[in-house]
Structure 1
């Protein structure tokens, strides 16, 4: 059992190793390899020569277009250098621009990937905003209504705050979008904003209502309305909820503008079996006063690991806040089917029958940490599709519930996976050293290669090439243990999650998941991987902007080009 996380300053340092991940000299302290960052992960080299990948359940970094370096996201709102009457978020892949003073003609603009659109609250009064770090509030923008925006790492949280009953059950925003963008209302109640090429840029999440006592209702809905060439988004609210004598004001109406799809966390409730809570700042397990029995679901986008990585330890951590928790055991399960942001109790994914890990620390305002080494190994080796994991109270009837912060909360307390691994250089990669005798001095692996024959032809030539790795004693190729050949090259993958490519010389290359979908190769691996409509994968070798097909076998032993 592991509880909490050591709070110490981590030294940041651009250090060799670069591509091959074999350090010439081990560091004295844990060091961050800043050139190995992705949007939601970073890499550390440890004093023993191993590496640790820290994977967050929200984007932590953005790529600066000026120098292509990954830098930490900063959501602080500051005065725009181009428009002194506007505020702008400091550093992220998208720009959110807010008017210092609201009126019917200006409020909020969003820019991403060269596209932009504006949103205006219909009937907005001219009021001066109040800035608090990453939040901007327009007080009394409508009678008895405040409007709040909070910029997070991957979304803009919009909240209409009804301070008292207003007698109004509908609020409207004008959506000003150019001709190269379109808005669509989905069956699940979300609104999508896409480019003319079909690229999904943003999701307006179905609104919900919650009062000051935490009593929740999802009886709030979007509608897209057209008036000539103008587009409006109407939010319709359930009057029986608003006018209930037991309702405790203020009531917050919370539709959020989200950009990231693959990363998600939420909880499900048996009291509201058809409600989803993907925009909640907390997720729960066990019997709660407001939601009945609850369970939490989390899915990470898993980044690429260096070639021939061997995972030794992996943990999952989440920040628990309920001060009344005691004698509560929370079990962690691997999930065996897919789910999305709109998941509910009635549509919850299937989970393994046996818990992967269990924890009962009885602490609050602290990280709870579960070991998930076997699950993580299975994700990266293609044994288990990455559907994420479930947290569930062992006693769902009488034990106190637990509450964990989600990716909607501050970045300091978001869920995280830490993977520690070693790199064992087996194969003929250019970034690994070997002597003239074919020995890799870092691990003593003896490498021998043979080309048995080569029959040219009009199309692809018929060749037989084989490689012997003395340390590769686990896998048996067509020529026996230790031998790999072009007939053994293959992809190993599940329905979702990382993909393993075992090449002709026995090297295992790990493709990770992009937070926006698709696959990412480790730096120095010039391969492009994409999933086809029929579920098979296409692997292309990229050489000087050319993409050449590779003949490989997939996990079902089918040859693919």
Structure 2
């Protein structure tokens, strides 16, 4: 199981983004929108029909060419024979080539059954751990629970994330017990290696082990560091498989590289021989068991690591199951690491941090504490894991000599015996590499190489995949922190909008939104400003952030701005309209900041173009005011309402009939401006107007609501009351009281007994004629008259300035009224 420890993140992983997978990389989405790209030391995926699937190195029994074997799915696609014996072969596939090899038996007595075991249950692991120092501190379930309860929220998130990034089923192992009576043979399968451990339990006269190899056409080439690579042609330098230079170590951790690895042709195949130094193995200081470790690997690791050591092995690299930094009793050690960056990082991302995670394998301290420092090798000479040594390393190899080169320090971690995982912040270096600068790797060294303190870390070659190195990159895809802004109708500026982008970027406003502008543009933020929205309707605009990549603008986020409208308002060019009795068409101008509609509460007022937006107009057609069934007409009033949202305005429309419009002249604004009767100073004029006006009133009785004009104000009398007010004591009409005087005068000859009693009256008791004249003698005037006899209008009847006749100049009525 591969696992990573991340100490810099506080964002919690939500899920893996499977479509972004790479061979050795997983991508995880976090709850704050950021991503983590986790790179593992060995492949964790294999490609099947264009889809990256998880490698499963669980060894399962299957049949191949009629033989029972253990096999894996993905990775090297290894098969392991269920038993050792003549003709039994191991196979591994990489790059379209399948190599096979078998353990060569000298006396044909080779026989052992394969037993699948957990990696940590292998004899080599169990025996080595049994000699390790045991701490007095005892860990119980309760103490572990108590420790879990004391975790901070940040630590809980880190623990959860580490669990999410752990990849299971990354290794499988078998052991052939007693394969040559003196030793066990172990095979550990990982995604890019088939590690062979020869576990020797007792001293022997010699330690020679041979294997038949079918290279599938690949050509073996021996390397200066003692390894053998298999290449496609003699001129090719790219290895398809590598048989690493073997080393051995005893139960006390003592190491030796005195192992000769050789390869010779043998017909169509090759014979690979591993011969360990018997002098070192049979030394009385050896603590058995001793493990001899040759490993087949495929060169597709995303992490390459090696350590260099001064003294005896100063001229060769150390490619073991661990890398080291510090100083032991006699030697100084440094480690060099190269990292392959993920390839699916999006264009324009912003790097948050990057961390290299190393698991502690051993801690050694004699004197004082040290820090383990990580340096960027950007200004150093190039190096490779196959050729680097203490003597040719890119930094000064004297005690603390690397400081003379003044390398850039990336981070420093205090070495502690109880620290199991070391996290080195390498953000600065990774940022440079991602920007295209040279990736020359990282060096780990002690802060004081004269101090005898050393930390050993598990390397990419360790059997337990969960202990291998890894590194993570936390990043934010190019994006805009805000997607929506809903300002009020007033002019305002939003708070700063964050932009996460590793490339130059600009902001483009939608062309139909001149009211929206960009302000306060900075490296990672900008603001938006809106003008006041005078309209009642909302308006929508967008601001699109585009990054420039390869000369092309690529949108990385859009902010949608929806500005609310102002309170609706309606202003009309009139709120009162007087019109004549005939058909009328009027245009009403509307000033509004909203959509509006016009409606009428009266059937005789028809609305045209009654729906509009903003400043516009509508027309209303007013039908003719007709006579009623009883052959009368009258004033009528209607209301037109203009509605805009919750706001409304009304127009009162008053239409006169044919007679009343004579008394109510209408000005250019559509309003009657008839002068009140009180403004007339001649009593006869006032009487004549009142009498004429009362023609609309009942002959007798109280006030009638029918009012043809304004000049009478609120005091409207009947015709009878008007006559009595001017001294006429009694009036008898020969008509029904329900008829108005106007109707009677206009259509009937009326005789009335008018009794009066004034001091100047000489003709009291005579009958008088109350009538109407119509265009008498071509005068063009019409009006009411009173005659003192029944002869009707006489030639001597006079007409005053109001157009009113009073027959009988010699009559006392005229005299009385005129007085």
With the length of structure 1 as denominator, give the TM-score of the two structures: 0.68
SS in 1 for 2:362: coil
Inter-CA distance 53–472: structure 2 relative to 1 (3 Å threshold): farther
CA RMSD of aligned residues (A): 3.6
Distance 2:361 2:184 in 1: 28
Q: Cα deviation per residue 1:128-177 (whole Å; 9 max; x = unaligned)? A: 12211411122222241222111122111112222222212432111123
80, 105, 113: which one aligns with 1:128: 113
SS in 1 for 2:552: coil
Aligned to 2:815: none
Shift of 1:203: 0.4
Aligned to 1:175: 213
Q: Cα deviation per residue 1:87-134 (whole Å; 9 max; x = unaligned)? A: 334322321111111112113122234322221122161111221141
Superposed counterparts of 1:494-513, under 5 Å: 503-505=550-552
Q: Cα deviation per residue 1:30-65 (whole Å; 9 max; x = unaligned)? A: 3221111111212222222222222223222222x2
Distance 1:86 1:7 in 2: 48
- Report if the CA contact (8 A) 2:94-2:298 is conserved: no
Aligned to 1:48: 32
Structure 2: segments with no counterpart, 5+ residues: 119-171, 396-401, 481-496, 500-504, 510-519, 525-544, 556-819
Distance 1:231 1:41 in 2: 36
Q: Does 1:379 align with 2:433?
A: yes
Shift of 1:399: 4.7
Inter-CA distance 162–447: structure 2 relative to 1 (3 Å threshold): same
SS in 2 for 1:106: coil
Distance 1:79 1:170 in 2: 30
Superposed counterparts of 1:122-521, under 5 Å: 122-123=104-105, 125-133=110-118, 134-178=172-216, 180-195=217-232, 198=236, 200-261=239-300, 263-271=303-311, 272-278=313-319, 280-289=320-329, 292-304=331-343, 305-322=345-362, 327-335=369-377, 336-342=380-386, 343-350=388-395, 353-360=407-414, 362-364=416-418, 366-383=420-437, 385-409=438-462, 410-424=464-478, 445-446=506-507, 503-505=550-552
- Report if the CA contact (8 A) 2:258-2:277 is conserved: yes
Higher strand share: 1
Q: Does 1:91 align with 2:73?
A: yes
Inter-CA distance 270–187: structure 2 relative to 1 (3 Å threshold): closer
- Report if the CA contact (8 A) 1:87-1:99 is conserved: yes
Distance 1:276 1:156 in 2: 21
Higher helix share: 2
Aligned to 1:518: none
Inter-CA distance 210–309: structure 2 relative to 1 (3 Å threshold): same
Distance 1:114 1:147 in 2: 28
Inter-CA distance 483–48: structure 2 relative to 1 (3 Å threshold): closer
- Report if the CA contact (8 A) 1:307-1:507 is conserved: no
SS in 1 for 2:43: coil
Distance 2:6 2:479 in 1: 31
Q: Cα deviation per residue 1:522-541 (whole Å; 9 max; x = unaligned)? A: xxxxxxxxxxxxxxxxxxxx
- Report if the CA contact (8 A) 1:101-1:128 is conserved: yes
Structure (1 or 2) with the larger CA radius of gyration: 2
Q: Does 1:79 align with 2:79?
A: no
Distance 2:187 2:26 in 1: 29
Shift of 1:301: 0.8
Q: Cα deviation per residue 1:267-291 (whole Å; 9 max; x = unaligned)? A: 221132123322x2222211225x7
Shift of 1:196: 5.5
- Report if the CA contact (8 A) 1:205-1:256 is conserved: yes
Distance 1:81 1:99 in 2: 10
Shift of 1:445: 3.5
Aligned length: 427
Inter-CA distance 412–223: structure 2 relative to 1 (3 Å threshold): closer
Structure 1: segments with no counterpart, 5+ residues: 11-26, 427-440, 449-469, 475-481, 486-501, 509-561
Shift of 1:83: 6.4
Distance 1:28 1:192 in 2: 43
The farther-off stretch of 235-244 and 166-175 is: 235-244
The farther-off stretch of 347-356 and 88-97 is: 347-356
- Report if the CA contact (8 A) 1:328-1:393 is conserved: yes
Q: Does 1:118 align with 2:100?
A: yes
